[in-house]
């Protein structure tokens, strides 16, 4: 497979500060010093080589495709340009250096809207060049413009960072999972959880969306389906799309046991499990994020009776996230490489605040 490359140079006093920051970068999977002030950084998106020569830091980013290269450049710029104490200025050359429209951005146009149960609105969007959104992560970020306003989308600066519109053009950004995708037909489906009693921008858009309405999408991200023979998946309403995607993409022969919390039987959705089971827990009118049903179910499982290769995936409200992670780490002693627990939302918080606090 051919690779794509982009290069940048940092000069003067900023060069030493920049390489020190990158060599102590927690986001890199590994840092390998190849001698002197030369090093190689490996990340989920590709590889970065660093060479400090005569107060000049030479940076070369290499990735398998244009989306991963853009993510790699954006991540490097975020840790150098925006970081205090480096004073770095990045100007990229090579693949993608002239791009203004992000390669990972698509404009979506509503083509249908269907209520799936009392609390889920499913929108189907038309778009183009969706191949990259079928792989490389379960999640996307949806960009919702202000109602009645022509959207202004983010663009790419010379340093690789996104430049976001502000003021009246500011966008609401929310993380969602693509529920279904048909690359050849050119559409994606996204399920939106409706929150009775709460005025949330994404849910409001979904509830009132009409054919022709436009939003933006950037991605994909958030990790792929784990490769394991045995999975335990837990989640509330907000995690159902991700669980459905995971089940659809599991390798043949994988056993998946699923536990999902929803309000009541009318919220149950058909989920296909070739091997395993699906269990629904009902809140029966209690407020989402207050019941402890998911962590309570997990706490009654005998970890010693589980397969040695069990992988636990969970997506839920922040308080459940904390309890589930505590059980897995402290009570079960489950290694981190065999668990992924994500706070999808937090009561009283908006947007991605729960994810940021969990990081």
Going along the chain from its start, the domains and CATH numbers come out as 4-94 (3.30.310.180), 105-221 (2.40.30.10), 230-355 (3.40.50.80)
pLDDT for residue 148 = 87
3-class SS letters over 225-256: CCCCCEEEEEEEHHHHHHHHHHHHHCCCCCEE
160: alpha, beta or left? (left if phi > 0; alpha if psi -120 to 50): left
Kindly indicate the confidence band of residue 356, based on its pLDDT and cuts at 50, 70 and 90.
very low
d(C-alpha 229, C-alpha 5), whole Å: 36
- pLDDT, position 327: 97
**Is the preceding omega at residue 220 within 30 degrees of 0, hence cis?**
yes
Across residues 7-19, what is the average pLDDT?
Answer: 89
Residue 351 has pLDDT above 90, yes or no: no
Cα distance between residue 309 and residue 146, in whole Å:
47
Question: Does the pLDDT of residue 358 top 50, yes or no?
Answer: no
- The owner of tokens 């999902």 is 260
Q: 27-41, 151-165, 284-298, 311-325: lowest mean pLDDT where?
A: 27-41
pTM for this predicted structure: 0.88
């Amino acid at each position: 497979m051919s690779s794509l490359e982009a290069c940048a140079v940092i000069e003067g006093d900023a060069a030493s500060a920049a390489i020190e920051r990158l060599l102590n970068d927690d986001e890199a999977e590994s840092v390998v010093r190849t001698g002197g002030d030369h090093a190689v950084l490996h990340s989920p998106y590709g590889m970065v080589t660093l060479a400090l020569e005569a107060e000049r830091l030479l940076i070369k980013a290499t990735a398998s495709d244009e989306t991963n290269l853009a993510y790699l450049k954006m991540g490097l710029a975020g840790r150098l340009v925006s970081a205090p104490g480096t004073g770095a200025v990045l100007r990229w050359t090579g693949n993608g250096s002239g791009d203004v429209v992000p390669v990972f951005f698509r404009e979506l146009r509503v083509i249908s809207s269907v209520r799936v149960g009392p609390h889920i609105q499913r929108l189907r969007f038309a778009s183009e060049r969706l191949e990259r959104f079928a792989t490389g992560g379960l999640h996307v970020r949806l960009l919702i413009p202000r109602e009645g306003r022509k959207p202004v989308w983010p663009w790419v600066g010379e340093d690789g960072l996104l430049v976001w519109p502000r003021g009246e053009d500011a966008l609401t950004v929310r993380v969602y999972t693509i529920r279904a995708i048909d690359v050849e037909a050119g559409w994606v489906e996204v399920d939106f959880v409706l929150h009775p009693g709460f005025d949330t921008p994404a849910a409001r858009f979904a509830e009132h969306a009409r054919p022709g309405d436009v939003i933006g999408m950037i991605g994909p991200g958030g990790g792929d389906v784990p490769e394991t023979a045995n999975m335990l998946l837990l989640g509330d309403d907000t995690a159902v799309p991700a669980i459905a995607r995971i089940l659809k993409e599991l390798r043949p022969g994988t056993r998946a046991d699923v536990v999902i919390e929803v309000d009541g039987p009318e919220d149950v959705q058909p989920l296909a499990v070739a091997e395993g089971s699906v269990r629904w827990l009902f809140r029966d009118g209690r407020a989402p994020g207050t019941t402890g049903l998911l962590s309570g179910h997990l706490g009654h499982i005998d970890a010693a009776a589980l397969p040695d290769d069990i992988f636990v995936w969970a997506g839920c409200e922040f308080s459940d996230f904390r309890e589930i992670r505590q059980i897995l780490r402290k009570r079960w002693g489950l290694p981190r490489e065999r668990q992924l627990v994500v706070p999808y939302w937090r009561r009283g918080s908006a947007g991605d605040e729960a994810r940021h606090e969990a990081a």
